[in-house]
Amino acid sequence: MGRKVVRGTPRGTAPAARPSDPRLIALFLDMLAAERGAERNTLAAYGRDLTDFTAYLAGAGLSVAAAATEDLRAYLGELAKRGLRPATTARRLSAIRQLYRFLYAEGLRRDDPAAVLEGPKRVRALPKTLTLAEVDRLLRAAASFDPAAPSPARLRAARLACVVELLYATGLRVSELVALPASAARLDAPVIVVRGKGNKERLVPLNNAAKQAMAHYLALVAQARDARGGGRSSTRRPLPGKRGREGEWLFPSFGGSGHFTRQHFARELKALAAAAGLRPAQLSPHVLRHAFASHLLHNGADLRVVQTLLGHADISTTQIYTHVLEERLKSLVRDLHPLAEE
C-alpha cells in the first residue's frame, strides 16, 4: 500500500488555502523517505537545498506554490552571483525539479515550472585518491601505536587502525562503516553484510589484513570489558558485544551514546595522515573509498564488480573511475605492444 498524501484541489481549480512552503517541503521529504528509501543524510541535504530556495523566494515576496519559471531562473542566477560551483548549482536544481514534479503529480500545483529549466554544464572532476605507497604509509602509521600506552589509548588506536583497514579493504561509505552492528564482527566469515543507501543489503568480502585488525581491536575490547567487570557499575558507554540496545554498534562512541561518528573519524584520519607524512588536506574517508576502487580497476577488476562492491545503483556513478581504465590500457599498449619502443 502506498503512502497517503494530503492532496490539493483538482487541477483547473484554485486551491482555497495553499500549504506553506515548509509544509510542501515536508510532504516531499516524506515521499522520498517512504517511497524511495532515502536515508537521513540524503533527506538533510535535500532539506538544506530547498530551505535556501524558499528563503530566496520569501525575500522576493514569493512562495513555492506561486513561483513561476522566471522566478526559478532568477534563483539560479543568484546562485551564479554567489560563485557556487556548477556541481552545487546542478544539485540544487535537481532538488527543485524533483520538488515540483512531486507537487504536480500530487495536484498541489497545476503546472511544473521547473520542467523546462536547464542546469549548468557539469565537468565531472576526477576523484581524489592515494597511491599504493601512500596507502601503505597510512596503514603502517595506523598500526604503529605504543603497546605500553594506557588501555583506553590503545583501544582508541586499535579502533582507528581497524576502521582504516576496513575502509580501504572494502570501499564502504564511511556512514556504512561506522554504523556496522556488533554482529558484523564474525572473524570466521569471509564477508560482511552491509546495509547501504535505500536500505539495500550487499555482501562485501574481507581480506586478511582487515580481519587481523578487527581481531586485535576485539581482543582489546574484551580486555577492557573484563577490566571493567562487565560494565555493571560503569556509567560509560558499553563496548561491542555487550548485550542490550547499547551494545549494538561494532564501533561505539567511547564518550557518549551512539556509534563512532563520521566527523570524529575524519578528524582522527587527518591526524593520522600528518603522522604518516601525508598532507591532511588530501585525505578524507571518501578518498580511501576512491583509492579502493581505483586500485581494484588498475589491477584488472571489472567495472561491474567494482559497482557492486561500492553499492552504486547506477554504473554511470562508477564510471568516474574510467580514467583509471584508460591509463591502464595506455600502459598495457606501451608495455606489451611490439612496436611501442620504436
The CATH number given to whatever domain includes residue 219 is 1.10.443.10
pTM: 0.61
Supply 96's cell numbers.
527543485
Dist CA 48 CA 79 (whole Å): 14
> What are 172-219's pLDDT values in tens digits?
999 899 989 888 877 777 888 888 777 788 888 999 999 999 999 999
Query: Does some domain include residue 76?
Result: yes
Question: In terms of residues, how long is the chain?
Answer: 342
Supply 92's cell numbers.
540544487
**Residue 201: strand, helix, or coil:** strand
| pLDDT surpassing 70 at residue 255 | no
Confidence at residue 170, expressed as pLDDT on a 0 to 100 scale: 93
- Indicate whether 64 and 107 sit together in one domain: yes
Q: 190 has which bridge partners?
A: none
- Indicate whether 143 and 242 sit together in one domain: yes
SS3 of 163-178: HHHHHHHHCCCHHHHH
Dist CA 209 CA 215 (whole Å): 10
- Indicate whether 181 and 327 sit together in one domain: yes
Dist CA 292 CA 324 (whole Å): 12
Phi/psi of residue 36, nearest 5 degrees: -110, -5
Confidence at residue 238, expressed as pLDDT on a 0 to 100 scale: 39
> What are 278-305's pLDDT values in tens digits?
999 889 999 999 999 888 888 888 888 8
Q: Which of 123, 151, 183 is the last residue of a domain?
A: 123
Query: Does some domain include residue 35?
Result: yes
Phi/psi of residue 136, nearest 5 degrees: -60, -40
Q: Which of 64, 98, 123 is the last residue of a domain?
A: 123
Sign of the alpha-carbon dihedral angle for 212, 216, 219, 221: negative
From residue 6, alpha-carbon distances to 26, 54, 190, 294 in Å are 11, 20, 48, 46
Query: Does some domain include residue 79?
Result: yes
Query: Does some domain include residue 338?
Result: no
Query: Does some domain include residue 342?
Result: no
Domain span at residue 60 reads 1-123
Phi/psi of residue 138, nearest 5 degrees: -65, -45
Dist CA 61 CA 258 (whole Å): 42
- Indicate whether 113 and 151 sit together in one domain: no
Query: Does some domain include residue 340?
Result: no
Confidence at residue 76, expressed as pLDDT on a 0 to 100 scale: 93
- Indicate whether 145 and 115 sit together in one domain: no
Average pLDDT, the chain: 82
Give the whole-number percent of the chain exceeding pLDDT 90: 44
- Indicate whether 195 and 264 sit together in one domain: yes
- Indicate whether 150 and 20 sit together in one domain: no
- Indicate whether 154 and 301 sit together in one domain: yes
- Indicate whether 216 and 308 sit together in one domain: yes
Is pLDDT larger for residue 307 or for residue 6? 307
- Indicate whether 95 and 201 sit together in one domain: no
Sequence-distant (6+) residues with CB within 8 A of 307 are 315, 317, 318
Q: 203 has which bridge partners?
A: 193
Dist CA 233 CA 51 (whole Å): 46
Domain CATH number, residue 23: 1.10.150.130
- Indicate whether 173 and 103 sit together in one domain: no
CA 96 centroid distance within chain: 22
Assign 237 a pLDDT band (cuts: 50, 70, 90): very low
Helices (H), the chain: 21-35, 40-59, 69-81, 86-105, 132-143, 151-170, 174-178, 208-227, 262-275, 285-298, 303-310, 315-318, 322-336
Q: Which of 93, 123, 153 is the last residue of a domain?
A: 123
**How many domains, in total, are found in the chain?**
2
User: So which residues are the catalytic ones?
Assistant: 173, 197, 286, 289, 312, 321
Dist CA 141 CA 245 (whole Å): 34
- Indicate whether 83 and 149 sit together in one domain: no
Confidence at residue 231, expressed as pLDDT on a 0 to 100 scale: 47
Asked if 63 and 23 count as a contact pair (C-beta separation under 8 A), the reply is no
